[in-house]
Amino acid sequence: MPAVLEMTQVGPMPGDPSKLEPSTSPRQIQILKNNYYGIEVINNVVYQGWEPGREYTKNIVLKNVNIKTQKIKYKNPKSRFYTTLFPKPVVLSAGTSFSLPITFRPLEKVVYEDSIEFHTKDGVFEVPITAVLPQVDITVPEFLDFSMCAAKDSVETIFEVKNSGDLETKVEWEVGEPFTIDPPAAILKSQQIKKFKATFKPENASVFEAEAVCKYGNELNLGK
């Protein structure tokens, strides 16, 4: 008889500081570039893994991909937590670049959002600046297919769970008979991959479809 076990995740509730929007883990943020009026620049600046009271600097690189010389002006970020060079015109000939340092000085564990505005002869554009908090997140299979299994017999399958977030977390499994998952709980460090064994042991000849719930996040006690 065939059996399918669907896998779902139950993590921190909205408002939990360990699961702030955006839901994508900071480690998964991709660096993309945009072209504004012939100026190539990253689409945003993201600070991660920071601590209050320290100083962090990232650079915004502006490259003139136009065939003509361009003059760029910029405004300082509005927040006092982000600072940069004193604003002055930047002249870029074709193919040249300018690196503008952005220094971040956080005072507390909150999300900091701002932007820096650039002016060219042809238009205005902004580069968002964000400091994100660590997140709790895991990656599990969508489902497990046990295929065929005779009554009173059993079949096993091995699957992996990855802690794709930035914080250590405990994971706990909830699943009903005739399915079991071993170990039923484990502690995963950031980016750690853990193997689990799922067992299907039917008592009668039927088609089985069930759901396994994986709980994780700060509400689980790491010591248990």
Q: How does pLDDT run across 32-68, given as a tens digit for each residue? A: 888 999 999 999 999 988 889 999 999 999 999 999 9
State the pLDDT at residue 195: 94
Residue 223: pLDDT band by 50, 70, 90 thresholds?
A: very low
Give the residue-averaged pLDDT of 1-12: 62
Domain boundaries of the chain, sorted by first residue: 2-17+136-216, 26-131
State the pLDDT at residue 219: 64
In 10 A of CB 23, how many CB atoms? 10
Contact present, 160 and 193 (Cβ < 8 Å):
yes
- Residue 173 and residue 9: Cα distance in Å, rounded? 9
| Greatest mean pLDDT among 30-34, 187-191, 218-222 | 187-191
Does residue 182 have a pLDDT over 60? yes
Q: What is the mean pLDDT of the chain?
A: 83
Contact present, 118 and 87 (Cβ < 8 Å):
no
Domain 26-131: state its class.
Answer: mainly beta
In terms of residues, how long is the chain?
Answer: 224
State the pLDDT at residue 11: 61
Give the residue-averaged pLDDT of 212-221: 78
CATH numeric code, 2-17+136-216:
2.60.40.10
Tell me the one-letter amino acid at 224.
K
State the pLDDT at residue 146: 78
Instruction: Kindly report, residue by residue over 89-142, the tens digit of the pLDDT.
Output: 999 999 999 999 999 999 998 999 999 999 999 999 999 999 988 888 888 988
- Residue 148 and residue 26: Cα distance in Å, rounded? 41
Q: Do domains 2-17+136-216 and 26-131 have the same CATH topology?
A: yes
Best CA proximity match to 132, nearest among 180, 159, 166, 177: 166
Q: In the chain, what percentage of residues exceed pLDDT 70?
A: 83
Least reliable range by pLDDT among 162-171, 188-197, 202-211: 202-211
State the pLDDT at residue 196: 94
Contact present, 199 and 154 (Cβ < 8 Å):
yes
State the pLDDT at residue 34: 86
Residue 74: pLDDT band by 50, 70, 90 thresholds?
A: very high
